[in-house]
Amino acid sequence: MVQSLWLFGTRLNIVADHTTTGGQYDLIEGYFPPGTQTPLHRHTRYSEQLYVLSGEFTVWAGEKKVVLNAGESFLISPCTPHVVAALSDQPARGLVVAAPSGFARLVAAVGTVDETEAPDIELLDRISTEIGDEILGPPGALPSA
C-alpha cells in the first residue's frame, strides 16, 4: 500500500521501503508544486537517484547545477549537500531511489496528511540524526560552490 504524505510543501508517496526491499532501497514518488524547493541538506548514509516523470527539476548538488526534464535522471552521492526544486510555473513529478533504505523512514515519521500542517521539527531533527541526514539550511539556501 502506498503511503502519501506532505513534507516541506511536496507530496511524497512511499512506494517501497525497508519492509518491502529488505533495507536495500526506498522508492518514493514526489510531486512538487510550482516554486517548491527542498531545504539544503545531505544524506550521509545513502545515495539519492532522481528520475523525472514530468515537469522540470533544478538540482544543485555540491558545485553542480543541473536542470532535468522528463526521462532524465541524476545521482546524488552520499554526503553531497543538495537542493531539489521545481522552479518553472508547472508542477514536477519524479521518482527517488534512496539506497540503502533510510529516506522513507523520515517521510513516514515526519510527513503530514494535511499539506498545510508544519512538520514536527523536534521529530525531524531526531529522525534525521538517526538516519544520518543533515539539514544545512532553509528552503532558498543553496550549496556553496
41-66 pLDDT, tens digit per residue, is 999 999 999 999 999 999 999 999 99
What pLDDT score was predicted for residue 138?
A: 78
Residue 145 resides in a domain: no
Domain containing 83 equals 3-137
Question: Can you state the percent helix, strand and coil of the chain, rounding each to 5?
Answer: 15, 45, 40
pTM above 0.85, yes or no: yes
Compute the distance between CA of residue 52 and CA of residue 132 in angstroms, rounded to an integer.
Answer: 25
Closest by CA position to 52, among listed 80, 32, 77, 22: 32
Question: Coil, strand, or helix at residue 66?
Answer: strand
Residue 142 resides in a domain: no
For residues 53 and 93, the answer to whether their CB atoms sit within 8 Å is yes
Q: Rg of the chain over CA atoms, in angstroms?
A: 14
Residue 143 resides in a domain: no
What pLDDT score was predicted for residue 60?
A: 96
Q: List, for the chain, all residue ranges whose pLDDT scores fall below the cut of 70.
A: 1, 145
Residue 98 resides in a domain: yes
Residue 105 resides in a domain: yes
Interval 85-97: pLDDT, tens:
999 999 999 999 9
What pLDDT score was predicted for residue 139?
A: 74
Output phi, psi for 129, to 5 deg: -60, -45
Counted domains in the chain: 1
What pLDDT score was predicted for residue 1?
A: 67
